[in-house]
């Protein structure tokens, strides 16, 4: 097993070296490291690729990672180094949805840990769970966690008051990062989920502005894929409001889970979805995601392909 993995890693590195050699000119032109005075503290989740998410290049920003994007003594060590040596001015705690740290059951976890490790924490069986909690620091809520980590990091401002500390919430299913100003008012992840459609609607407006900004006249959205049955997000929200006037007008997590179940059992349902329309730009076809809500037949078979 280790041999196979080693081979995958080595071959990957040769492919990278090949690419690297071709881009040496560009790489050698990196003068200031990092290009932006930014440090991002994020989770070790393998679905997070900072350079891809923000379209950064090699050398653009510092990235610190650990399980759950947590403030630790070692994170503080690296941040202060980065501030002193590289003049970092902006720190972002990038949490993400579906974080594995919210799915840790300490009782089950304990069963999987070697006795030697457990007894290194404590000899007392009854102290295992509290000790494990303080060692692994699992949490239940991604939004509350971001707020807590920001709060802990605020101590840096005592030494470096000009340092800005902010947060973001990354959605591993859509590739969208929600800015702190938009998430901080939600007291927890449940409340965020309940307002998810409104938040997406806001994102859609921002995205439209972005498209207009990059080149208003040259963009032709190619809707050649059959989206004729799609309904726009705003319309969807309005319709769901009229359907659920006596409810809170919001889609709850239970309803979302219900939708997912329906998707598994039924080939027709309504789910929030990100489509990737083709966009013509200066004669070059690029792909830019467009947020929308769709109402169409979904073939489980074709989804699985």
Residues in the site for Zn ion, rule: CB under 5 A? 43, 45, 99
Cβ 145 to Zn ion shortest distance, Å: 9
Question: Other CB atoms closer than 10 Å to residue 297's CB: what's the count?
Answer: 9
Alpha-carbon distance 285 to 178, whole Å?
27
Helix, strand, coil percentages (3-state) for the chain, rounded to 5, are 50, 20, 35
- What residue spans of 113-195 are helical by DSSP H? 115-121, 128-136, 142-153, 156-159, 180-183, 189-194
Q: Which is nearer to Zn ion, 67 or 256 (CB)?
A: 67
Q: Provide the token pair at 16.
A: 């990278």
Three-state DSSP at 186 gives coil
Cβ 234 to Zn ion shortest distance, Å: 32
Q: Which is nearer to Zn ion, 138 or 272 (CB)?
A: 138
Cβ 146 to Zn ion shortest distance, Å: 11
Cβ 69 to Zn ion shortest distance, Å: 7
Cβ 104 to Zn ion shortest distance, Å: 11
Cβ 239 to Zn ion shortest distance, Å: 34
Alpha-carbon distance 190 to 167, whole Å?
18
Cβ 100 to Zn ion shortest distance, Å: 5
Q: Which is nearer to Zn ion, 45 or 294 (CB)?
A: 45
Q: Which is nearer to Zn ion, 99 or 143 (CB)?
A: 99
Confirm if 110 and 132 have CB atoms less than 8 A apart.
yes
Confirm if 270 and 293 have CB atoms less than 8 A apart.
yes
Of 90, 85, 106, residue with least CA distance to 40:
90
Report the alpha-carbon angle 25-39-148, nearest 5: 160
Confirm if 158 and 82 have CB atoms less than 8 A apart.
no
Q: Provide the token pair at 10.
A: 């080595």
Alpha-carbon distance 199 to 293, whole Å?
13
Q: Which is nearer to Zn ion, 148 or 255 (CB)?
A: 148
Q: Which is nearer to Zn ion, 193 or 197 (CB)?
A: 193
Q: Which is nearer to Zn ion, 30 or 44 (CB)?
A: 44
Cβ 261 to Zn ion shortest distance, Å: 25
Alpha-carbon distance 279 to 208, whole Å?
13
Q: Which is nearer to Zn ion, 76 or 172 (CB)?
A: 172
């Amino acid at each position: 097993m280790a041999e196979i993995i080693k081979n995958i890693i080595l071959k990957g590195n040769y492919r990278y070296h090949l690419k690297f050699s071709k881009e040496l000119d560009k790489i050698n032109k990196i003068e200031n490291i990092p290009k932006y005075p930014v440090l991002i503290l994020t989770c070790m989740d393998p679905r997070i690729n900072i350079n891809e998410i923000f379209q950064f290049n090699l050398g653009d920003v510092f990235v610190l990672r650990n399980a759950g994007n947590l403030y630790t003594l070692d994170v503080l060590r690296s941040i202060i180094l980065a501030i002193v040596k590289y003049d970092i001015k902006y720190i972002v705690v990038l949490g993400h949805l579906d974080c594995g740290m919210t799915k840790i059951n300490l009782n089950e976890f304990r069963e999987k840990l070697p006795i030697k490790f457990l007894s290194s924490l404590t000899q007392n069986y009854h102290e295992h769970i509290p000790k494990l909690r303080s060692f692994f620091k699992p949490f239940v809520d991604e939004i509350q966690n971001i707020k807590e980590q920001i709060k802990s990091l605020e101590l840096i401002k005592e030494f470096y008051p000009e340092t800005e500390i902010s947060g973001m919430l990354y959605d591993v299913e859509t590739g969208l990062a929600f800015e702190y100003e938009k998430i901080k008012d939600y007291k927890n992840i449940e409340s965020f989920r309940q307002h998810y459609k409104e938040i997406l609607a806001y994102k859609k407006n921002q995205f439209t502005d972005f498209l207009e900004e990059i080149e208003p006249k040259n963009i032709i959205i190619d809707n050649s894929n059959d989206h004729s049955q799609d309904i726009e997000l705003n319309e969807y929200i309005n319709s769901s409001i009229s359907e659920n006037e006596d409810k809170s007008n919001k889609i709850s997590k239970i309803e979302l889970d219900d939708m997912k179940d329906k998707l598994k059992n039924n080939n027709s349902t309504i789910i929030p979805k990100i489509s990737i329309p083709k966009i013509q730009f200066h004669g070059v076809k690029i792909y830019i995601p467009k947020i929308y809500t769709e109402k169409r037949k979904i073939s489980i078979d074709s989804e699985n392909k």
